Amino acid sequence: MPTERLYWKDDHAVNATAIIIAVRDNAVALDRTCFYAGGGGQSPDTGWLHHHGNRIPVTSVEASADGHIWHLLDVPAGSPGDTVTVEIDADCRNALARYHSALHVVNTIALRDYNAWITGAQIGTDYSRIDFKWEGFAPAIAAEMEQKVNAVLATRATLRSFWLEEAVFARRPHLLRTLDVRLPVHQGHSRVVTIDGFDEQACGGTHVAHLGEVGRFSVTRTENKGRSNKRLYVKLD
């Protein structure tokens, strides 16, 4: 059985009780977890595994091809069948979720107003980097983007998620925001994340509950990465 990904039902759960289903070296696979396994430019969560009274650091998390989510531990611990509690580093997750949610606003405005497509992102806790295929980018556009993104953030709109059947999803190409054409499908369904009154797009990541949590957005630097490829460094305060 694949690991149940609790963050797809509840982006905001920071701990969960689970059972170890497999062990290898310094890692355990669990039947369920609230740890995000990484993807879409967002790093995996870190945190702790509580086992027999010990609080063991989880240094990273990775999904294997069979759908198990492996929690990489500081020291070996646990056996199959053991009950554990997992706890994510909530400050770190919250920072990543703020940047990740801002990214939805940025990619929507970039596509809507400038026909620019995201080609990659690296979401961090202190700043993030976003790559675009962006014809005709000029430095003045960075200031325009700041204004437009902050105006949307100021609406404090609510974020929600739902699942669509693959066939229905395939008929709604506007849900895709990257030039990577692989459809994000899980057990015949794709997850869609909406910002009330603003946008909906396919996404398997973790988000804030409403845009008021994001903070103030700024573009700190831009770089040319080829003729039509631009890299934006962004910061939230």
Interface ranges with Zn ion (CB under 5 A): 193, 203, 205
The residue sitting closest to Zn ion, measured at its beta carbon, is 203
The least CB distance from residue 207 to Zn ion, in Å, is 6
The least CB distance from residue 159 to Zn ion, in Å, is 8
Structure-block tokens of residue 127: 């700043």
The least CB distance from residue 53 to Zn ion, in Å, is 36
The least CB distance from residue 23 to Zn ion, in Å, is 32
- Over the chain, what HEC string results? CCCEEHHHCCCCCCEEEEEEEEEECCEEEECEECCCCCECCECCCCEEEEECCEEEEEEEEEECCCCCEEEEECCCCCCCCCEEEEEECHHHHHHHHHHHHHHHHHHHHHHHHHCCEEEEEEECCCCEEEEEECCCCCHHHHHHHHHHHHHHHCCCCEEEEEEEEHHHHHCCHHHCCECCCCCCCECCEEEEEEECCCEEEECCCCCCCEHHHCCCEEEEEEEECCCCEEEEEEEEC
Closer Cβ to Zn ion, 34 or 203, answer by number: 203
The least CB distance from residue 98 to Zn ion, in Å, is 12
The least CB distance from residue 139 to Zn ion, in Å, is 28
**Chain centroid to CA 189: how far?**
18
Closer Cβ to Zn ion, 44 or 205, answer by number: 205
Closer Cβ to Zn ion, 78 or 184, answer by number: 184
